[in-house]
Amino acid sequence: MQQTLSIIKPDAVKKGVIGKIVDRFESNRLRVAAMKKVRLSKCDAKAFYAVHSERPFFNDLVDFMVSGPVVVMVLEGENAVAKNRDLMGATNPKEAAPGTIRADFADSIDANAVHGSDSLENAKNEIAFFFATREIC
Ligand code: CMP
């Protein structure tokens, strides 16, 4: 069993597809162990994506992530980190395989509908960033 962090980004929340995205996870044996809707501050977004702080897209990424509410979740299941990334599809929706979340709901590499942890170690850090242990069931 693994846990991973998933974020439904502002574009997908604005489109009203929270339920459709959660269904992809639940239909593929990823259980929602914690969930909340939050509006990130600029400080939150910069800290969460600190690993990308030197990348040219960093400021646009931060501005996008604070442009509206997001839904953050802890997903739990067998091989959850890799399974979530398979379900999401490639970062750039133009390259995402048909039937993946980004192929179906994302518009661009910036507005790409979802974020998912890319390793078990990052999953632990990202989950701790958003959730106290008592909030995870
Ligand atoms: P995410 O999985 O949330 O991780 C970092 C985000 O930066 C990524 O999704 C994209 O939305 C955004 N981004 C914008 N441009 C790029 C790029 N060239 N390479 C990777 N990520 C990018």
Task: For residue range 16-58, list pLDDT tens digits in order.
Answer: 999 999 999 999 999 999 999 999 999 999 999 999 999 999 9
**Residue 124 known to bind ligand:** no
Query: What atom of ligand 1 comes closest to residue 114's alpha carbon?
Result: 3
Within 8 A by CB and 6+ apart from 73, the residues are 5, 6, 7, 8, 22, 25, 32, 33, 34, 35
Q: Is 114 helix (H, G, I), strand (E, B) or coil?
A: strand
Question: Which one is catalytic: 24, 46, 83, 115?
Answer: 115
DSSP string, 19-79: HHHHHHHHTTT-EEEEEEEE---HHHHHHHTGGGTTSTTHHHHHHHHTSS-EEEEEEEETT
The answer to whether 115 is a known catalytic residue is yes
**Residue 112 known to bind ligand:** yes
Tell the residue nearest (CA) to atom 4 of ligand 1: 115
Q: Which residues form the pocket of ligand 1, taking CB atoms under 6 Å from any ligand atom?
A: 52, 57, 61, 91, 109-110, 112, 115
**Residue 105 known to bind ligand:** no
pTM: 0.97
Query: What atom of ligand 1 comes closest to residue 116's alpha carbon?
Result: 2
pLDDT digits (tens, 9 = 90+) for 90-114: 999 999 999 999 999 999 999 999 9
Backbone angles phi and psi of 13, in degrees to 5: -65, -45
